[in-house]
Amino acid sequence: MAEERAAPIRLGSVAPNFEADSSNGPITFHDYIGDSWAILFSHPDDFTPICTTELGAFAKLEPEFTARGVKLIGLSANNTDSHHAWIKDIDEVNGSKLTFPIISDPDRKIAYKYDMVDYQDTTNVDSKGMALTIRSVFIIDPSKKIRLIMSYPASTGRNTAEVLRVVDALQTTDKHGVTCPINWLPGDDVVIPPPVSTEDAQKKFGELRIVKPLHHPPTTPNKGGRLASTPFPATPQESSASCVGFLGPRLVLPLRNRRAIFVSHPLSQVDFRRPLSFQPRLCSSGAERLGQQQRGNKKQLSDENPILLFARITFASRLSHFPVGNCLGSSCLFAVRYRA
């Protein structure tokens, strides 16, 4: 058994293949998945109340999963004769018609491959004292990679609506290159992750709702005070800046012997070869204003009065004057409306 658990299952792992008997006949798992998504879920024991409600709920939702290109397959330690008799009870109790296969895993070989065994609950055992499977869920994509793992104790039933919601979220993020926030449902706002710029996001999705810039907390400079001692022109040269809507990496620059915090495009879009050219200019470009920022605000930049700017900064001095190590990554939270 220990050898079966040598390679832990993680998100992104290829789902281990196996051959097994099932209520629908012999199955080779990867062949069963084919080019579809799949949900492999285990239950502790046939003919138990919670398992009966769970299998009935999955059976009722099977048309929804099928419409999304998802195949269901259950697993327990019972044999196929037990499965066949139990399916009749499931359909009678729940008013369902269960058609997906239930795998028979009496020796727990598959259960240990997928780490479906509870090592804490000493009551979740069969008549021989062998550990029964817990309530595990694996969502597997067409490339056979595991995209989600959920494990419930034997005492607690699952939420089939949540399993379906995660399938919707995974398929949406794969198709559109977005991410889904908490409690997301189809039709709700999604998030455009960095490093997508405002311009690229608008081209792809149309109208955006920019919510709030998210920044990593600033790091402490070296004990020698590298920022303060960094050589830098006392007076910036002729300036230029253009308004942008994207809030990219936060740059902490010494300016006139003071510190100012600027927000600009990702570092990949910054040209470090040119001498410093920056004009402290504020603009919203469709983004929500932060604090006291207003178009045309000319407040003096200082340690006591740092200002966050929506601006593209053209740099300035040589790299020795602007250490890359002083750039702190951050991102902006975008949201767009996606309708399935």
How far apart are the C-alpha atoms of 190 and 168, rounded to whole Å?
12
In CATH, what number is assigned to the domain containing residue 84?
3.40.30.10
191 in the same domain as 331: yes
For the question of whether the overall pTM of this predicted structure is more than 0.75, the answer is no
Asked whether the beta carbons of 242 and 285 are under 8 A apart, the reply is no
Report which of 130, 33, 152 is spatially closest to residue 78, judged by C-alpha positions.
130
Asked whether the beta carbons of 259 and 306 are under 8 A apart, the reply is yes
289 in the same domain as 167: no
333 in the same domain as 231: yes
Of 124, 151, 176, the domain-final residue: 176
184 in the same domain as 149: no
261 in the same domain as 165: no
SS3 268: helix
166 in the same domain as 48: yes
Tokens standing for residue 230:
């960094």
Residues 6+ apart with CB under 8 A from 192: 177, 178, 179, 201, 205, 208, 334, 335, 336
How far apart are the C-alpha atoms of 183 and 16, rounded to whole Å?
30
Number of domains in the chain: 2
154 in the same domain as 29: yes
289 in the same domain as 238: yes
What pLDDT, on a 0 to 100 scale, did the predictor assign at position 133? 74
What pLDDT, on a 0 to 100 scale, did the predictor assign at position 239? 30
Where the chain has pLDDT below 70, the residues are 1-6, 119-132, 212-340
254 in the same domain as 149: no
What pLDDT, on a 0 to 100 scale, did the predictor assign at position 130? 66
How far apart are the C-alpha atoms of 36 and 301, rounded to whole Å?
57
What pLDDT, on a 0 to 100 scale, did the predictor assign at position 154? 81
| Other CB atoms within 10 Å distance of the CB of residue 197 | 19
197 in the same domain as 156: no
87 in the same domain as 144: yes
Q: 135-140 and 70-76 as β-strands: parallel, antiparallel, unpaired?
A: unpaired
SS3 140: strand
Domain enclosing residue 34, as ranges: 3-176
Residues annotated as catalytic are 51
What are the two backbone dihedrals, phi and then psi, of residue 99, each rounded to the nearest 5 degrees? -120, -20
> Which residue intervals of the chain are DSSP H helices?
29-33, 49-67, 80-94, 109-113, 160-176, 198-205, 226-229
Tokens standing for residue 265:
């495009």
Asked whether the beta carbons of 178 and 172 are under 8 A apart, the reply is yes
**Own/partner long-range contacts of 112-116 (Cβ < 8 Å, ≥24 apart):** 112/1, 112/4, 112/5, 113/4, 113/9, 113/16, 113/18, 114/9, 114/16, 114/40, 114/42, 114/138, 115/5, 115/8, 115/9, 116/42, 116/75, 116/151
Residues 6+ apart with CB under 8 A from 7: none
Of 148, 176, 204, the domain-final residue: 176
183 in the same domain as 114: no
Of 176, 208, 242, the domain-final residue: 176
In single-letter form, the type of residue at position 29 comes to F
